[in-house]
Amino acid sequence: MTLTPTKPPQHPAPVEMDPPEDGPSVGERVASVFSTGFVAVWAVLVVLPLLWAVLTAFKSDQEILTDPWGLPQQWRLDNFARAWTEGNIGTYFVNSLIVVVTATVLVMLLGAMTAYVIARYRFPGRDVIYYTFVAGMAFPIFLALVPLFFVVKNVGLTATYLGLVLVYVAYALPFTVFFLTGFFRTLPGSLIEAALLDGCSHAGVFFRIMLPLAEPGIVSVGIFNFLGLWNQFILPLVLMPDQDKYVLSQGLVVLAATQGYRSDWSGLFAGLVIATLPVVAVYIVFQRRIQEGLAVGAFR
Amino acid sequence: MRHGKYPFIIGFLAIPLLLYAVFVISPYAQAFYLSLTDWRGLSNRQDFVGLANYAELFTDTQFWRAMGHNLALLIVVPLFVIAMALLFASATAISRVRGSRFYQVVFFFPHVLPVVIAGILFAFLYNPQAGLLNAFLRVVGLEWLTRAWLGDDAVALPAVMVVMIWSAVGFYYVLFSAAMKSVPRDVYEAATLDGAGRLRTLVSITIPMIWESVQVSYVYLGIAALDGFTLLHTMLPDGGPNRSTEVVAQYLYRTAFDEGRFGYASAIGVTLCLFTLVLAIVVMRFSRREQVEYA
């Protein structure tokens, strides 16, 4: 690799606090200030809309229209109460929780079982099964949308929690199996042999020894699945036409549309804040793990 | 010791495989077949029409318009996201700006924020009366710039692109930051001794060294740009003013669930899927050559 100097070589500055690539030239200084400045500006641009949403959730509708910048004169908690009851956010919130938590737990269990068998046993068709799951990650969901609607209808599960849960599980399986298969392969096989010799059953080995050992991988994928399914919109849109069983993402869209003529902006923003709380909680608790898991393990 | 191995394997695989076959594999397989029929879903009549749906698609102006919007997203969004993420990552990771951990936490958050919530939030931010953007423009004396951002053909799609960029930059910032950490520091020191400036270092050293991350990022962002359903459906439910922002996935949804043309909608899905696969293959091919140049 050849590097043509754009300017005469600089002598190294011995007392620089900054790392050496911060050349001492004026141009470099300016570049440094600028790039650091851009980073700070972006941080503001990320935080500002979020902060504005939270403040707006506490304001009166009058304030929202006349004073979009200011702090709320009075912190109105009743916006949240109104969103929860009148806006039905409470119902949608509970629906989301039921569907997403059940689906996440189920997909982790079934995914871990599948991945363990694929990673640790030799049997005919193993590779076919594995690559069928991997291929499932490559296809966009909207390709399956129309037939899926009729499949769910034909098994009588349209507009049921169970239908949505099973579909969520099925579409979360490929990544879960893919990730956990790699994970189970890294665990020591000698433990399995020893436990089997001691008279432990195959299932016993999995539940008592391997599953606890795989906990870090399961937590990473579990968080990923929880956030992904909480975010899911197009599947419930097609499979959950019953408004009493809407999940949050559907409910918020309805609320955003109806707020237009009721002009209950504050209620809408309170609803947005409520819907974000579980995500914020998971994000704060598992912050480092989310970034590691997502950055390393691709996403869908 | 091997006693009961097969019953165990079958017992563990039966339920997941059944779910996967019924809800994932069979719909995908059916989509290809349905795209060759004129099925409208009301009756059981499913006449095989060969490639007629695809022929119609070829001359369907609304489809190509929607595809044009996807292509606009495909060109603009990844470019900005990758450029900004690279800039921010090199500014914080290499020169070790204080608080780069803080930036990671802040920048990444929009990525975990549900798309629907981001969509509603920004739709209101763009609101002509009460929105933050117009309020800001009035305060700084740029009154003439204020407009109904989502109600204007010319700016509605760019306004949505901004939201996509806003949500995505943080993820790629974290991804590139991690990749840059693995570049050996003495390479940078050698470059500095050769008199390479900051920008020169980024273009000639950092980017080639983390090229693999960049190319994978482009594929991910491209796949997202060819979808875009959730955000657009949230911000501009009816395809925007004069359908000026409708993307293919929205057109598919409308064709299937509003008009009941399930066969035709399946053909749209298959076509869009092929575009996605071609994009992934082309990007990986094209950029592999690039990497050899620098190796």
The answer as to whether B7 is a domain residue is no
Predicted pLDDT at B13: 96
User: DSSP characters for A41-92?
Assistant: HHHHHHHHHHHHHHHHHTS-HHHHHH-SSSPPSS--THHHHHHHHTT-HHHH
Q: What percent of chain B has pLDDT over 90?
A: 51
Residues of A in Cβ contact (< 8 Å) with B191: 3, 21
Between A254 and A111, residue with greater pLDDT: A111
What does the pLDDT look like over A47-60, one tens digit per residue?
999 999 999 999 88
Residues of B in Cβ contact (< 8 Å) with A258: none
Of A100, A97, A252, A249, nearest to A168 by C-alpha is A100
Under the banding of pLDDT at 50, 70 and 90, the label for residue B36 is very high
Of B92, B200, B204, nearest to A9 by C-alpha is B200
Does the pLDDT value for residue A22 go beyond 80? no
Under the banding of pLDDT at 50, 70 and 90, the label for residue A295 is low
C-alpha–C-alpha distance, residues A113 and A202, integer Å: 11
The answer as to whether B136 is a domain residue is yes
Count of C-beta atoms within a 10 Å radius of residue B191 = 21
Predicted pLDDT at A128: 95
Domain end position, chosen among A10, A44, A74: A74
Predicted pLDDT at A286: 86
- Domain co-membership, A189 together with A153: yes
- Domain count within chain B: 1
Under the banding of pLDDT at 50, 70 and 90, the label for residue B2 is low
Q: Of the given ranges (A60-74, A176-190, B113-127, B169-183), which has the lowest mean pLDDT?
A: A60-74
Q: What is the mean pLDDT of residues B107-113?
A: 91
Between A114 and A7, residue with greater pLDDT: A114
Instruction: Indicate yes or no: CB of A173 within 8 angstroms of CB of B24.
Output: yes
Under the banding of pLDDT at 50, 70 and 90, the label for residue B97 is low
| CB-closest option in B23, B92, B199 to A148 | B23
Between B5 and B26, residue with greater pLDDT: B26
Between B182 and A246, residue with greater pLDDT: A246
Under the banding of pLDDT at 50, 70 and 90, the label for residue B206 is confident
The answer to whether B222 contacts chain A (CB < 8 Å) is no
The answer as to whether B19 is a domain residue is no
Q: What is the mean pLDDT of residues A74-94?
A: 89
The answer as to whether A235 is a domain residue is yes
Interface test with B, best of A22, A32, A39 (most B CBs within 10 A): A39
The answer as to whether A144 is a domain residue is yes
What rounded mean pLDDT belongs to chain A? 85
The answer as to whether A193 is a domain residue is yes
Q: Of the given ranges (A77-81, A174-178, B64-68, B281-285), which has the lowest mean pLDDT?
A: B281-285
Hey, is B47 helix, strand or coil?
A: coil
Q: How far is B195 from chain A (nearest CA, A)?
A: 5
Domain end position, chosen among A74, A106, A132: A74
Q: What is the mean pLDDT of residues B120-146?
A: 86
What does the pLDDT look like over A109-139, one tens digit per residue?
999 999 999 999 999 999 999 999 998 888 8
Does the pLDDT value for residue A269 go beyond 60? yes
The answer as to whether B17 is a domain residue is no
Q: Map tokens 């059953």 to a residue.
A: A201
CATH number for position B96: 1.10.3720.10
The answer to whether B267 contacts chain A (CB < 8 Å) is no
The answer as to whether A3 is a domain residue is no
- Domain co-membership, A55 together with A91: no
The answer as to whether B284 is a domain residue is yes
Query: CA torsion, points A106, A107, A110, A111, in degrees to nearest 10?
Result: -160
- Domain count within chain A: 2
- Domain co-membership, A166 together with A256: yes
- Domain co-membership, A48 together with A96: no
Between B98 and A104, residue with greater pLDDT: A104
What does the pLDDT look like over A194-237, one tens digit per residue?
888 888 899 999 999 999 999 888 998 999 899 999 999 999 99
Question: What is the domain extent for residue A55?
Answer: 26-74
Q: Which residue of A has its CA nearest to B29?
A: A144
Residues of B in Cβ contact (< 8 Å) with A47: 106
Predicted pLDDT at A140: 87
The answer as to whether B23 is a domain residue is no
Does the pLDDT value for residue A248 go beyond 90? yes
CATH number for position A165: 1.10.3720.10
Question: What is the domain extent for residue B70?
Answer: 55-294
The answer to whether residues B231 and B148 touch, using CB atoms and an 8 Å cutoff, is no
Q: What is the mean pLDDT of residues B13-28?
A: 96
Residues of A in Cβ contact (< 8 Å) with B276: 140
Predicted pLDDT at B43: 67
Residues of B in Cβ contact (< 8 Å) with A283: 109, 112
Does the pLDDT value for residue A46 go beyond 60? yes
Query: What ipTM was predicted for this assembly?
Result: 0.88
- Domain co-membership, A114 together with A241: yes
Does the pLDDT value for residue A157 go beyond 90? yes
Does the pLDDT value for residue B99 go beyond 70? no
The answer as to whether B261 is a domain residue is yes
The answer to whether A44 contacts chain B (CB < 8 Å) is no
The answer as to whether A251 is a domain residue is yes
Predicted pLDDT at A113: 96
Predicted pLDDT at B295: 36
Of B94, B239, B74, B84, nearest to B161 by C-alpha is B74
B120 HSE (CA, 13 A, CB side): 29
- Domain co-membership, A53 together with A117: no
What rounded mean pLDDT belongs to chain B? 87
Residues of A in Cβ contact (< 8 Å) with B25: 132, 136
Of A221, A223, A97, nearest to A165 by C-alpha is A97
Under the banding of pLDDT at 50, 70 and 90, the label for residue A292 is low
Predicted pLDDT at A25: 66
- Domain co-membership, A112 together with A171: yes
- Domain co-membership, A177 together with A275: yes
- Domain co-membership, A63 together with A210: no
Under the banding of pLDDT at 50, 70 and 90, the label for residue B262 is very high
| CB-closest option in B16, B111, B276 to A114 | B16
What does the pLDDT look like over A24-33, one tens digit per residue?
567 667 777 7
Query: CA torsion, points A37, A42, A45, A51, in degrees to nearest 10?
Result: -100
Q: What is the mean pLDDT of residues B177-194?
A: 82
Q: How many CB pairs (< 8 A) connect A and B?
A: 295
- Domain co-membership, A50 together with A118: no
Residues of B in Cβ contact (< 8 Å) with A276: 113-114, 117
Predicted pLDDT at A294: 58
CA B145 from chain center: how many Å? 29
- Domain co-membership, A103 together with A248: yes
The answer as to whether B252 is a domain residue is yes
The answer as to whether A12 is a domain residue is no
Under the banding of pLDDT at 50, 70 and 90, the label for residue B30 is very high
Between A201 and B101, residue with greater pLDDT: A201
The answer to whether residues A70 and A63 touch, using CB atoms and an 8 Å cutoff, is yes
| CB-closest option in B120, B201, B229 to A21 | B201
Q: What is the mean pLDDT of residues B143-167?
A: 90
The answer as to whether A19 is a domain residue is no
Does the pLDDT value for residue A88 go beyond 50? yes
Q: Which two tokens stand for residue B52?
A: 């007629």
Of A68, A41, A161, nearest to B106 by C-alpha is A41
